[in-house]
Chain A
Amino acid sequence: MNHPARHLACAAAALALLLPAADLSAAEFRLGSQIAMSGALARVGMATNEGVNVAVEMFNRVHQGRHTASLITVDDESNPAKAVAAIEQMAPQVQAFSGGYGSNIIGPASETAERAGKVYMTSGGVASELVKRGLTNFFRINNGEGYSRALVGMLNDLDIKSVAILHSTKDATQEVAHQVEEGLVANGTKVSFHAFDPAISDFKPILHKVKVLDKPDAIVMVGYENDYVGILRAARVMQPGIKLIAGVWSLATGKMANDFPELMQNVVGTSTLPYPVAFTDPEAQEFAKVYRDLYKKSPDYLGVFGYVQTRLLLDAMLRAEEAGALDQPGAVAAELRKSLNDTLIGPVRFDETGDNPEFTHRMGQHQGKQVVLVWPEKAATGPVKFPATPWTTPRVASE
Chain B
Amino acid sequence: MFELVLQSLYAGLLAGGYYALIALGLTLIFGTMKVINLAHGEMVLLAAYIAYTAESVYGMNPVIAIPFAVLVVVLTSVAVYGLVSRIRQDRELNSLILTFGIGIVLTNFVLMVWSADIRSTNVPWFNEPVVIAGTLYSTSAQVLFFLSGVALTAALWWWLNRSWYGRSLRAVASNRNAAMLMGVNPRTTEVISFVIAGLLAGIAGIAIYTVTVIHPDLGHHLTIKAFVITVLAGLGSIPGVLLGAMLIGVAEYLTITLASSALQELTGMVLFLLVLFIRPSGLFGSRGRVG
Contact = CB atoms under 8 A, between A and B. Distances in A.
Interface stretch (B69-77, B160-168, B184-192, B213-221): B213-221
Nearest to A39: B217
A292 B147 CA distance: 47
B7 A229 contact: no
B148 interface: no
Of residues A46, A201, A209, A255, which shows the largest number of chain B Cβ atoms within 10 Å of its Cβ? A201
B213 A199 contact: no
Interface string B42-81: 0000000000000000000000000000000000000000
Given A42-B217, A229-B118, A237-B129, A204 B137 contact: yes
Interface stretch (A138-146, A154-162, A189-197, A376-384): A189-197
Given A205-B11, A237-B137, A260 B120 contact: yes
A38 B111 contact: yes
A358 interface: no
Contacts of B129: 236-237, 239
Given A225-B118, A229-B213, A196 B261 contact: yes
Interface stretch (B23-31, B94-102, B196-204, B252-260): B252-260
A48 to B, nearest CB: 12
Interface in B116-148: 116-120, 122, 124, 127, 129, 131, 137-139, 142
Interface string A258-286: 01111000000000000000000000000
A395 to B, nearest CB: 8
A225 B117 CA distance: 9
B281 interface: no
Interface residues of B, number: 41
Contacts of B111: 38, 42
A205 B7 CA distance: 7
Contact of A197 (B211, B213, B265): B265
Given A204-B138, A226-B215, A38 B118 contact: no
A200 B252 CA distance: 10
Chain B CB within 10 Å, residue with most, of A43, A78, A239: A43
A237 B124 contact: no
B8 interface: yes
A43 B265 contact: no
Contacts of B253: 202, 205
Interface string A228-246: 0110010011110000000
B121 to A, nearest CB: 10
Interface string B83-125: 0000000000000000000000001100100011111101010
Interface of B: 3-4, 7-8, 11, 15, 107-108, 111, 115-120, 122, 124, 127, 129, 131, 137-139, 142, 211-213, 215-217, 221, 253, 256-257, 260-266
